[in-house]
Amino acid sequence: MSHHPDPSASVTPARKRVTPPSLAQLVAAGDKLVMVTAYDYPAAVAAQRAGVDIVLVGDSGAQVQLGYDSTVPVSVDEMLVLASAVRRGTVTALVVVDLPFGSYEVSDEQAVATAIRCVKEAGADAVKLEGGGPVPAARIRAIVGAGIPVMGHVGLTPQTATALGGFSAQGRTVEAARRVRDDALAVQEAGAFSVVLEAIPSDLAAQIHPLLHIPAIGIGAGPAVDGQVLVLHDLLGLTQGRAAKFVKRYASVLDVMTDALAAYAAEVRSGAYPAPEHGYAMPPGILDSI
Ligand code: KIV
């Protein structure tokens, strides 16, 4: 049995435990916030060791971790399994869990009940939900009212991408730009401690940012925000095909994994693995006595 990787073996100077209020302090001190998604224990450990501020158990895990076609089918129970593993791998980073599609839209009561499950069953520090219209704003207010911090998410909202016309940048007409701005303000007004701005023109984000007193975290929103988030599998090179414009690949982990597995398969087939050093020695005399 191998040992777990140790989340406390940080490769960056130790961070204090990150909380929703401390995010605003980091921003006030001039720090850029670093957020990344994670869906399992080793990824959470790596994010923790790298000094990431916020780990998001995103419903993008439906696609990149669980292999669904979209984020829509993932259930609360599935999200809770992913989130619990991430919680166990995290020491100081703030753990935010996405409320999946269908788990908060029906009523404030449904939204609060799902958020409570994320906190009680998975140890989430906060939850995130998509949209800034009257319904999402009401849900944010209700969840915050129940004592659970909420991160908002406006611009491109993948759960409702069909209604938005697909996975394209948002806010590129006067009306659409106003909608993104008003959604961000509505999310703030409803009590969210932070908001994700996804796939909007950099200049629009720069215009919205000064209107917000909560940290704005961008993904495809340019540099004029308080921090950045990327999907782990995109930045590690674990996804395939054409990536969104804002994705930067920092590694080719799928290639590394494939090469390692191909080498293993070849050695098993050739008999090169296991070598003598991978076997257990029998104490002398035992075999003669069985
Ligand atoms: O689910 C997710 O990964 C997200 C990020 C894109 C912000 O919501």
Fold of 20-252: TIM Barrel (3.20.20)
Could you tell me which residues come within 8 angstroms of residue 252 by beta carbon, excluding any fewer than 6 positions away?
Answer: 237
pLDDT band at 166 (very low <50, low <70, confident <90, very high): confident
**pLDDT at residue number 242:** 87
Separation in Å, CA 29 to CA 23, 188, 211, 249: 10, 21, 19, 29
Residues 162, 118, 180, 33, Cα dihedral to 10°: -120
pLDDT band at residue 163 under the 50/70/90 scheme: confident
pTM, whole model, 2 decimals?
Answer: 0.95
Lowest mean pLDDT among 13-17, 146-150, 171-175: 13-17
> Which of 229, 215, 132 shows the shortest CA–CA distance to 176?
132
* More confidently predicted of 2 and 136: 136
- Please indicate whether residue 37, judged by its CB atom, sits closer than 6 Å to ligand 1: yes
Ligand 1 nearest atom to the CA of residue 37, by list position? 3
- Where in the sequence numbering do the catalytic residues fall? 198
The closest residue, in CA terms, to atom 4 on ligand 1 is 58
Determine the distance separating the centroid of ligand 1 and the alpha carbon of 259, expressed in angstroms: 29
CB of 229 closer than 6 angstroms to any ligand 1 atom: yes
The protein residue with its alpha carbon nearest to ligand 1, atom 5, reads: 58
63 lines ligand 1 (CB under 6 A): no
Greater confidence (3 vs 1) lies with: 3
Statement: residue 107 has pLDDT above 70 = yes
Residues 45/19, Cβ–Cβ less than 8 Å: no
**Quick check: CB of 58 below 6 Å from ligand 1?**
yes
Non-local CB neighbours of 28 within 8 Å, separated by 6+ positions = none
Amino acid 1: pLDDT: 54
DSSP state at residue 211? G
Residue 59 Cβ < 6 Å to ligand 1: yes
Q: What is the pLDDT of residue 14?
A: 57
Beta bridge partners of 194: 151
Q: Tell how far the Cα of 154 is from the centroid of ligand 1, in angstroms.
A: 11
Which of 57, 95, 153 is the best mutation target for the ligand 1 pocket, counting ligand atoms within 8 Å of the beta carbon and taking the most? 153
pLDDT value of residue 7: 77
With contact defined as beta carbons under 8 Å apart, do 97 and 39 qualify?
A: no
**By three-state DSSP, how is residue 39 classified?**
coil
Q: CB-based burial of residue 286 (10 Å sphere; 0-12 exposed, 13-18 middle, 19+ buried)? A: exposed
* pLDDT of res. 38: 98
Separation of CA 207 and ligand 1 centre (Å)? 22
- The atom number, within ligand 1, closest to the CA of 217 reads 7
pLDDT in tens, 44-91: 999 999 999 999 999 999 999 999 999 999 999 999 999 999 999 999
Q: How confident is the model at residue 13 (pLDDT cuts 50, 70, 90)?
A: low
Map out the domains of the chain as residue ranges: 20-252
Residue 165: which pLDDT band, with cuts at 50, 70 and 90?
confident
Q: For residues 55 and 35, is the Cβ–Cβ distance under 8 A?
A: yes
For residue 158, name the pLDDT band (cuts at 50, 70, 90): confident
Atom of ligand 1 minimally distant from the CA of 58: 1
Q: Taking 70 as the threshold, does the pLDDT of residue 2 lie above it? A: no
- How far apart are alpha carbons 60 and 70 in whole angstroms? 8
C-beta of 188 in contact with ligand 1 (< 6 A)? no
44 close to 7: Cβ distance less than 8 angstroms:
yes
* pLDDT of amino acid 53: 97
- Quick one: which H or E segment has residue 109? helix 108-122
Give the whole-angstrom CA distance, residue 185 versus residue 28: 20
**Residue 183 · residue 166 · CB < 8 Å:** no
Q: State the distance from the centre of ligand 1 to the C-alpha of 249, rounded, in angstroms.
A: 16
Please give the average per-residue pLDDT across 103-123, as a whole number: 98
Mean pLDDT of 31-49: 97
- What percentage of the chain has pLDDT greater than the value 70? 97
Ligand 1 atom nearest to 196, measured from its CA: 7
Q: What is the pLDDT of residues 222-244, one digit of tens each?
A: 999 999 999 999 999 999 888 99
Task: Look up residue 284 and give its amino acid.
Answer: P
